[in-house]
Amino acid sequence: GAVVSQHPSWVICKSGTSVKIECRSLDFQATTMFWYRQFPKQSLMLMATSNEGSKATYEQGVEKDKFLINHASLTLSTLTVTSAHPEDSSFYICSAGLDRLTPYEQYFGPGTRLTVT
Amino acid sequence: TQLLEQSPQFLSIQEGENLTVYCNSSSVFSSLQWYRQEPGEGPVLLVTVVTGGEVKKLKRLTFQFGDARKDSSLHITAAQPGDTGLYLCAGAGRGTYKYIFGTGTRLKVLA
């Protein structure tokens, strides 16, 4: 159980275009989902916390107008990178969790590798 | 801002050796997790610790949460090539389920 999927697994896009990444919890309902980015050989950096039915909470330094997050249902959150630039190339990972669990445990998706040319 | 420093950053050892990875912070965490990540994949949860001084074992892996809940360690006994990967600690503060990740330790076990 507790499987999280991401789609696509990798994407290449041209500079200036927008890319949407989906994160789905396959066998459970996730009130909260998190979006991370990871540069090569670095750790995960939390970008935003996404709660179903409400606006996402962005971490300091993350542009909310550039990284649009929508959490329309308990099993789906999307991250849209708008007007992508080469510096946005990264590994984007989502996680989902059941906030009724104590301690809270999150389950990670397999990640999406974005390359902007 | 909570910061989690891991040491060492890189570790290359021979199969059969023991090793310890440390995760340190000046902040107190209500819970701390350890993950292992393979290249091109998402992190996989190894353990969650919540009580100061808590020790958990997972086969050859031993995890300890510091008494003050500011630090943690991961000890691997008789390392195997399959243990190779990026090890990440992640801590959550009181009243939050938002985990902040450590700087990571890249382990390579040579056969």
**Residue A99 predicted with pLDDT over 70:** no
User: Does A44 contact B at CB distance below 8 Å?
Assistant: yes
Residues B45, A107: C-beta atoms closer than 8 Å:
yes
User: Does A105 contact B at CB distance below 8 Å?
Assistant: yes
What was the pLDDT predicted at A21?
98
**Residue A86 predicted with pLDDT over 70:** yes
Q: How far apart are CA B10 and CA A87, in angstroms?
A: 26
Q: How far is A44 from chain B (nearest CA, A)?
A: 6
Q: What is the pLDDT of residues B57-100, one digit of tens each?
A: 999 999 999 999 999 999 999 999 999 999 999 998 877 778 89
CB A86 within 8 A of CB A13: no
Q: What is the pLDDT of residues A73-84, one digit of tens each?
A: 889 999 999 999
What is the average per-residue pLDDT within A96-113? 79
Confidence of residue A23 (pLDDT cuts 50, 70, 90): very high
Residue in chain B closest to A33 (alpha carbons) equals B98
In degrees, rounded to 5, the angle at the alpha carbon of residue B11 between the alpha carbons of residues B39 and B79 is 85
**Residue B56 predicted with pLDDT over 80:** yes
What was the pLDDT predicted at A105?
76
**Residue A10 predicted with pLDDT over 70:** yes
What was the pLDDT predicted at A6?
97
Q: How many CA atoms lie within 13 A of A32 on its CB side?
A: 16
B97 → closest Cβ in A97, A111, A113: A97
What is the average per-residue pLDDT within B48-62? 95
User: Does B97 contact A at CB distance below 8 Å?
Assistant: yes
CB atoms within 10 A of CB A35: 26
Residues A46, B88: C-beta atoms closer than 8 Å:
no
Residues B99, A106: C-beta atoms closer than 8 Å:
yes
Mean pLDDT score of chain A: 91
Q: What percent of chain A has pLDDT over 90?
A: 71
What was the pLDDT predicted at B95?
72
Place of tokens 């059969």: B16
Q: How far apart are CA A32 and CA A49, in angstroms?
A: 7
Confidence of residue A102 (pLDDT cuts 50, 70, 90): low
- The span from the first CA to the last CA of chain A, in angstroms, equals 37
Helix (H, G, I), strand (E, B) or coil at A86: helix
Residues A43, B50: C-beta atoms closer than 8 Å:
no
Q: CA torsion, points B25, B29, B3, A40, in degrees to nearest 10?
A: 110
Q: Give bridge partners of residue B33 from the DSSP assignment.
A: B48, B90
What was the pLDDT predicted at A51?
85
CB B29 within 8 A of CB B93: yes
Contacts of A113 in chain B (CB under 8 A): 40
Entry field: residues in chain B:
111
Stronger pLDDT, A104 or B66, i.e. the higher one:
B66
Residues B102, A43: C-beta atoms closer than 8 Å:
yes
The residue among B16, B18, B17, B45 whose CA lies nearest residue B32 is B45
Q: What percent of chain A has pLDDT over 70?
A: 95
Residue in chain A closest to B30 (alpha carbons) equals A103
User: Does B91 contact A at CB distance below 8 Å?
Assistant: no
